[in-house]
Structure 1
Amino acid sequence: MSAQSAPLFGNVSRSRTPAQQLRDLLQRNPDEMLLMPCCYDGLSAKLVERAGFELTFMSGFSVAGSKGLPDTGLLSYEEMRQRVTEITSVISIPLIADADGGYGNAINVKRTIHGYAAAGAAGLLLEDQVLPKRCGHTRGKAVVSREEAISRMQAAVDARDAGSDIVIIGRTDAAACVSFEEALERARIFLELGADMTFVEAPRSERELAMYCESVGGMKLVNCLEGGDTPILPPQRLEELGFKLAAYPLSLLSSSIKAMEVTLAALRSGDPAGVEPHLVPFEDVRSIVGFDEYDKQQQRYKV
């Protein structure tokens, strides 16, 4: 994929809403699966777009990690909404954002839908975990009753249909907490209620991935977390199974941690020259963060 530059402040003159942009992508080719690297701040999102990907996802795990915190429900609705605004203001591609369990009861869910849509999110992921939630590939998580999960999803659909257009992905963690059959049933119910897509978290085998695709209609998302519970299959195989989106939630956060640790070790060694092989050239850093576009715009308003 070739690098491409993005406007300094994203595409603020969209002719279509972010949700419409995302739906166009999803409907472009029914059999096509889209790869979706996950970002966690403005810089990582710009890099995803620069690499040529057509959409990105704001990973809750990675946002928490960027603050030096575990993904255990410590971040508030407002912290997450602000991060959505930070990201959508500097990219032109659609952003799907992690909305955890909606940050409270059904009324909180409606507020989250309205807030995320107003912040520029094209879509969001709403889950059925008990609050405070945990990363789906860790132990100790629990899900709400089926009735409460239905209440959350109904509130989300009502808010979307009331004018806050956004693509809703219904996530269930019931496979690990109740049974895989319960997870499949909840996914089917989410679709019946009006969710645009479903996501069954942490299938443990290719067979379970296939069962999900065979028994649940509509569009489906698969989570490709390196080192997690779900096997990492080649994109072509995931597409054959029937998935629409393949999310890579920790690839950028994990690789950035490794790169920083390697660089810090080189600095600690007392040999500054040893740092150079791990760095992007300064002119590229300046371009990526927006100096070139800033200088070009500044010329227009030069006094």
Structure 2
Amino acid sequence: MPYVIGADLPDQPAGERFRALLERPEILRIPGAHLGLAALLAKKQGFESLYLSGAAMSATMGLPDLGMITIEDVCFFIRQVSRATGLPMLVDGDTGYGEALNVMHMVRSFEDAGAGAVHLEDQLLPKKCGHLNDKKLASADEMAAKVAAARKARRHLYVIARTDAVASEGMDAAVDRAKRYLEAGADAIFPEALTTAEMFREFAARMPGVKLLANMTEFGRTPFFTAEEFGAMGYSMVIWPVSHLRVAAKAWEALYAQIAAEGGTQGAVERMQTRAELYATIGYHEYEALDASLVRTVIPQGMPQKA
């Protein structure tokens, strides 16, 4: 059931709830779900935290993942997921939308919108997906200053520092950067675009006692590993950032092609969520019950046949 208005609202701040999830021995599984409906479906499967990907949010707006969206754009997505599920979210903060003061503004805005955690990356604008080529990195000092600003501004938000240094500077440099970011105040580290199990194990071995985030994105540089495999390699969290959007976009494309070819949706009904299933997901009748002036909706059963 979704978090209907005025009911079952969490008392504890989202950042504290996110941190508590990481205190458990098992790896925290965080699927991407940047839309309210997707978030409700993920929650239905038992997930306790969700990820809001900059790439997914940008693509939903018809934009490439080049750091073009704004803090307020992201807060729009945070608010809807927070209102729909009440779950603590990890949010992609890209490069922090500027320098130290911008990072502080981002942290407070994300907290106010309902986020539980954020990750910042050490790229320069225009930033790229971590699994693409020729990423330009900020200096370790510049990134450490942003991490320190995030730590200073946060009330409860969990701060994760991402480094993209492995691809261009090597493992030693990435480990050195990670240690700098921890000294600056990061709660956890996200080593991006590692390409082998050996690399994941080595990074974890060189970061003893540190909470680490793994990224399991499709069509990237990382082979497929399960959550359990990442956990065994020393990682505390794993995200599947854009998987939900990839599946949905493929389905949208197939639907529009079918309408264009067949002149209607009659051949696609078996692939659709029914009205009853949708209403159950979004808690339609629970919302109706909050307003005594509404007459309970009767859902049509099936579709009429042509005369």
Normalising by structure 1, what TM-score?
A: 0.91
1:194 aligns with 2:185: yes
- Match 1:91 to one of 46, 68, 85: 85
Distance 1:45 1:11 in 2: 18
Distance 2:293 2:196 in 1: 56
Distance 2:24 2:228 in 1: 18
Distance 1:240 1:44 in 2: 29
* Equivalent residue number for residue 183 of structure 1: 174
CA deviations 1:144-184 (Å, max 9, x no partner) are 01110111111111112xxx211001101111232222112
Deviating runs (4+, > 6 A) in structure 1? none
1:220 aligns with 2:216: no
SS in structure 2 at match of 1:39: coil
* Equivalent residue number for residue 44 of structure 1: 38
Seq. identity, %: 30
**Greater shift after overlay, 68-77 or 263-272?**
263-272
- Match 1:298 to one of 281, 288, 291: 291
Aligned-residue offset at 1:122: 0.6
**5+ residue gaps, structure 2:** 296-307
Distance 1:9 1:265 in 2: 38
Larger-gyration structure (1/2): 2
* Equivalent residue number for residue 69 of structure 2: 75
* Equivalent residue number for residue 17 of structure 2: 21
Count how many residue pairs are aligned between Structure 1 and Structure 2.
Answer: 293
SS in structure 2 at match of 1:13: coil
CA deviations 1:229-262 (Å, max 9, x no partner) are 1111122211111111110011100000111122
Aligned-residue offset at 1:272: 3.3
Q: How does 1:102-251 map to 2 (within 5 A)?
A: 102-160=96-154, 164-217=155-208, 218-251=210-243
Q: CA RMSD in A?
A: 1.8
CA change 1:301–1:23 in 2 (3 A) is: farther
* Equivalent residue number for residue 287 of structure 1: 280
* Equivalent residue number for residue 7 of structure 1: 3
- Match 1:53 to one of 47, 51, 58: 47
Normalising by structure 2, what TM-score?
A: 0.90
1:253 aligns with 2:249: no
Distance 1:234 1:186 in 2: 27
Contact 2:3–2:9 (8 Å) recurs in 1: no
SS in structure 1 at match of 2:235: coil
**5+ residue gaps, structure 1:** none
Contact 2:119–2:161 (8 Å) recurs in 1: yes
